[in-house]
A and B are shown apart, each in its own frame.
Chain A
Amino acid sequence: MKILSRLYIALILFFLYAPVAVMIIFSFNSSSSVWVFEGFSTKWYEGLVYDTTMLTALEHTLIIAVLSALISTVLGTAAAVGILAIRKKVASSLVMSMTNIPMMNADIVTGISLMLLFIFIGNLFGLNESLGFITVLAAHITFNLPYVILSVMPKLRQTDANLVDAAMDLGCTPFKAFFKVILPSISTGIATGTIMAFTLSLDDFVISYFTCGKYQTLPIVIYNMTKKSVTPDTYALSTIIFFVVFALLIFYNMLQSKSEKQAAVRKVGAK
């Protein structure tokens, strides 16, 4: 039984990671052949440094990812605080399900509807080119928001409601009490939300495709490259993206297990 289950896990991992492994191996191929590994080389990686289209796209992606992660973190945290403050249960669960819809919705539907909205608003202001930096940023903030809310909400629920009272009792204004007491207690939730948002923004293709106009992000540039021919520099770039996302996810998991440990200790302490 034990051998079988190990074999099963090995098979799952093989099918999941074999494609990525193949891609990584061929990104170091010295020829552009997709069938034969002719020798080790880092020339495709070196080539990326001189590819200006690629570098601009990378810059776009990073700017959008950082900005959308930060803005959705601020908005999402504020929203979580607001949703929890709603006294009526029906209203608060209604708001909650409304925020979850963009998460459940098919990316293509979100993408197309956002595109229509942006073009419509652009026309109202008489713009010919309504799609670009602002619209792709707005789109990314939109789909990041529910993830931030969902990671902050449980931490907020765990914090003792009396903490704010205690802080005000000791001289804090309600505003100061939030920053001095609530924010530190939910910081791991906020951090996991930010990383999640950053990762999602980094590798989004569908929604960006419909909303970016000429402000093309990396996934879109790669897609356009593959329309002509698939070259190993695509592999090199994809390998880099894979490792960045991989590192972020490991960091995310570490943060989460840390906050779970904290919660466990607190429970024992309370008894």
Chain B
Amino acid sequence: MQKEENIVQLKNISVAFDDQVILDDLSLDIKDKEFITFLGPSGCGKTTTLRLIAGFLEPDEGDVLFEGKKINGVPAYKRQVNTIFQRYALFPHLNVYENIAFGLRIKKWPENEIKAKVEEMLKLVNLTGLEKRHIDTLSGGQQQRVAIARAIANHPKVLLLDEPLAALDLKLRKDMQKELKKIQQQLGITFVFVTHDQEEALTMSDRVVVMDGGKIQQVGTPQDIYNEPENAFVADFIGESNILDGKMIRDFYVEFSGQKFDCLDKGFQENEAVDVVVRPEDVDIVPVEKGMLTGIVTSVSFLGVHYEIIVDIGGFKWMIQTTDEHFVDDKVGLFIEPDAIHIMKKSEYSGLYGDYSSYSEEIDHLSDIIEEE
């Protein structure tokens, strides 16, 4: 039964361009009818993985399987997958109707069936009445919808989406996220979605594949990825995290920042060095005498829903999100519940992330812009 359930399987895939490794021994099973998202910074290999499944690229090593059968070397036009491209790649010389009908005409469908199908698709993406419009005269959001209609008119078993929402503004993007999710559930098609936007990945997906450096860092439900990150990269990339050096004294007991804490993690060796993650929203600020740790507030910013406060504890700067107002130079205590602590094994990413000492609004803002590009 297992075989039937996995619609696409990637086995030990490696890809290199000009001696630069893009994908490094990557393996993944994609289940039938699931919404799976490849999430990672630019250059992590997520789009390359998508192109491998689409058939635009062949792996140097490893196999691509579709419904249990090896499809290495099967050209894109023979695969039962369709793609929605980043900049839509609509055909500029054809109108809306002909763009959506394109794949059906290639398959030589009879004219009346094409007409019915195109109408059905237009209805699905809310574009009824725009059949005759020229592609150039459509807004970005409308072009996006035509691209969706053009791809799913062909009844693909798997729909590949390459950052399809990146060019839309925030409000439109949110609407399209909901709409895509709705379409996926309605049609029961496997969606393989690529994005660098962690929020997008968390809201839409059944499972998220976090990638970096051509490797899968973690695969799991959005909840798993957020609550149980496997290493410092995942913890940092998804949401905000304080990541500290720690020592696992024994099961359910960890030491960091010079104090010992109860926690819910086990399975480590005694006194094993670990990375400790504490999410900013899981820390309570309390009076100094009640605190498990004490520190000094160095920065406060108001974000509407909550304040983002940076607290210096023995040189390590913590980020804490709280709805109570505090002021710079206040001495505060921190209280951390056992379930707010998450322990990770040491990895190549240890020590690279999770300290907010260089934190400033501007840097945060800048890195967002760079990511967008």
Contacts and interface: CB of A to CB of B under 8 A. Distances in A.
Interface residues of B, number: 28
A167 B252 CA distance: 57
Given A170-B102, A265-B136, A269-B137, A165 B91 contact: no
Contacts of A268: 136
Contacts of B138: 269
Interface residues of A, number: 24
B107 interface: yes
A181 interface: yes
Interface centre among A170, A176, A180, A185 (most CB of B within 10 A): A170
A185 B86 CA distance: 20
A170 B82 contact: yes
A162 B92 contact: no
Interface string A172-194: 11001000110011010000000
A149 to B, nearest CB: 22
Interface string A143-170: 0000000000000000010110111111
The SS class assigned to the A binding surface is helix
Interface string B48-71: 000000111000000000000000
B83 interface: yes
Given A162-B85, A169-B83, A266 B92 contact: yes
Nearest to B156: A169
A154 to B, nearest CB: 15
A172 B106 contact: yes
A266 B136 contact: yes
Contact of A168 (B76, B90, B92): B76
User: 7 tightest A-B contacts by CB?
Assistant: A170-B103, A162-B89, A166-B89, A171-B106, A184-B93, A269-B136, A168-B76
Given A165-B83, A169-B82, A180-B102, 13 more contacts: A160-B87, A163-B89, A165-B85, A165-B89, A166-B85, A166-B89, A167-B91, A169-B77, A169-B81, A170-B102, A173-B75, A266-B92, A269-B137
Interface of A: 160, 162-163, 165-173, 176, 180-181, 184-185, 187, 262, 265-266, 268-270
10 contacts: A163-B89, A165-B85, A168-B55, A168-B56, A168-B77, A170-B102, A170-B154, A171-B77, A172-B77, A270-B87
Interface of B: 54-56, 75-77, 81-83, 85-87, 89-93, 102-103, 106-107, 135-138, 150-151, 154
